[in-house]
Amino acid sequence: MKDRIIGGTPIKLSHVLIGMIVVIFLSLFLAEFGYQPWWLFLIVLILGVFLTLPTCFSSYWQIDSKNITSITYDSNDALKLLQLLGLRKKDKQIINLSEIKNASVVYLKNLRLSPIDFDLDYLDLILDLNKGTKVTLSLGSIEYHKLDSILTLTK
């Protein structure tokens, strides 16, 4: 087993940079590379940043031999952008493995209303803590051999 298992996708600087380059190029294209007023370029650039950057990152968690770290971003795109820029704190929760009383994996079937719906079914890791609280972590499309390692660590 590796040192840690990651559920979700952490922020990748390359995705953010590629997104910004595309937004800048699209803004220049729509402003006709300087033939339109500069304020039109700024409006398109700001709208592009607000629409593009929040999609570059989402909540994730990681587990190692000692604890589980969960990093959660806001669902509001404007607040998520502020979290990416470091102007607002993201929610970071650290759970020691010794605090876990019970761990279970829950499978929920995704109700498909369309024949072209390719969304994954829901697979969640539910942790019952000694404090009496429950923590739900989305497993998403995690590989099955990692699932066995996660359950072994949480016991």
**Is residue 1 over pLDDT 50?**
no
Query: For the segment 96-142, what is each residue's pLDDT rounded down to a tens digit?
Result: 988 888 888 888 887 878 888 777 778 888 888 888 889 888 887 67
Q: 108 - beta bridge partners?
A: 122
Would you state the pLDDT for residue 54? 82
CA angle 3, 98, 134 (to 5 degrees): 100
pTM summary value = 0.72
- Contact between 60 and 9 (Cβ < 8 Å): yes
- DSSP H helical segments within the chain, as ranges? 13-30, 38-52, 77-85, 144-154
Of residues 144 and 96, the one with the higher pLDDT is 96
Would you state the pLDDT for residue 144? 66
Contacts of 104 (CB under 8 A, 6+ apart): 125, 126, 128
- Contact between 29 and 59 (Cβ < 8 Å): no
